[in-house]
Amino acid sequence: MSAQPDHAPVTPYAPAPGAPAELLAQLRADKRADRWVPVFEREWAAALEESRRTFSLAGLYDVVQVWQGRIASAPAVDAFVASGYDDSEFIDMAELRGRRR
């Protein structure tokens, strides 16, 4: 019998060292820069402070990963909005929860 696991361990996501700067440059070049850049900077600052307290880079990695996903999905969101798809049937769950109170 072998003491080796029968599966490969999942390696945690670790962005390249320059990823946050590249991400910020992409955000600044995007048409949503006026909204996205301040939010990214706020989230980055909060994750940086958490990292200083906990000695963990996980929060910083999470911020980078989430924003990379947002940038990657932005063209699909733009295409959806431009398609004129009628989403007026959308149910706002927050609004529904507010009505129950």
Give the per-residue pLDDT at 18. 92
Model confidence pLDDT, tens digit, residues 80-101: 888 887 666 666 767 767 765 5
Q: How confident is the model at residue 45 (pLDDT cuts 50, 70, 90)?
A: very high
What is the overall mean pLDDT for the chain?
Answer: 85
Distance CA 47, CA 95 (A): 30
Contact residues for 36 (Cβ-Cβ < 8 A; gap 6+): 27, 30, 70
DSSP for 49-74, written as a single string:
HHHHHH---HHHHHHHHHHHHHHHHH
Between the alpha carbon of residue 21 and those of residues 35, 63, 82, the distances in Å are 18, 12, 30
pTM over the 0.75 mark: no
Give the per-residue pLDDT at 99. 64
Model confidence pLDDT, tens digit, residues 47-78: 999 999 999 999 999 999 999 999 999 999 88
Give the per-residue pLDDT at 49. 97
Q: What is the mean pLDDT of residues 13-38?
A: 93
